[in-house]
Amino acid sequence: MLNDPNRQMRKKQLTKKLLKNAFIDLILENNDVHSITISEITDRADFNRGTFYIHYQDKIDLLEELYQDAIEGIHQSIKKPYRNKGKVILNGVIPSNKLIFEHIEKHKKLFKALDLIEDNPDIYKRLELFLWNLFSKEIYIERETDAQETKYDIFLSFQVHATVGVIKYWIKKDFIFSTSVMSEQLTSFYSDKVIAMNFNNQNLD
């Protein structure tokens, strides 16, 4: 059917995907975002400018959606192993760590493109804010008894900055280590003092 809403939604999603892919490729080729024009994006995606403005107000609007895609993918990677669970005892590699790195590797062109953009806030500042809010409101990290002397906010600040720092290192080094190695390394930084994670499941749906 010509007016099938599902078909129209798929067409819209495909169009936006092609525009985003074109924008990502141009950022990687130019090592910059500000010099790229709407015409260059639409030419690369093989659309006209009118099609672009149906979906986005301007280039900044498109860029914001790239940031949202990157952060939301990491959000889903963190939540996936813990859905419908009130508490997970941690033993070995933290399940969500591996999924985070697998997501970044799967979308490495997106993350490499965002890494090149030095606007404030950049992808790493945005990721720090996202993780801080997540582990302040949705997930509480339970620690060993002898680790309780450290204030939770200070502990969380360390974990957030360490996590983002490791991700940043991996991206800037062009993903030189496997996702397994990276997840093992990240887990080793804090697993000695972390014994469980407690979840507010109503926020994980």
| Residues forming a β-bridge with 139 | 199
Does residue 61 lie within any of the structural domains?
no
Residues 36 and 104 in one domain: no
Per-residue pLDDT of 36-48, as tens digits, reads 999 999 999 999 9
Specify the pTM: 0.85
Residues 118 and 153 in one domain: yes
Res. 201 pLDDT band, cuts 50 70 90? low
The DSSP bridge pattern shows strands 87-89 and 194-199 to be antiparallel
Per-residue pLDDT of 133-143, as tens digits, reads 998 888 888 77
Expressed as residue numbers, the domain containing 184 is 66-203
User: HEC string of the chain?
Assistant: CCCCHHHHHHHHHHHHHHHHHHHHHHHHHHCCCCCCCHHHHHHHHCCCHHHHHHHCCCHHHHHHHHHHHHHHHHHHHHHHHHCCCCEEECCCCCHHHHHHHHHHHHCHHHHHHHHCCCCCCCHHHHHHHHHHHHHHHCEEEEECHHHCCCCHHHHHHHHHHHHHHHHHHHHHCCCCCCHHHHHHHHHHHHCCCEEEEEECHHHCC
Does residue 91 lie within any of the structural domains?
yes
Residues 71 and 169 in one domain: yes
Does residue 79 lie within any of the structural domains?
yes
Domain boundary among 10, 37, 56: 56
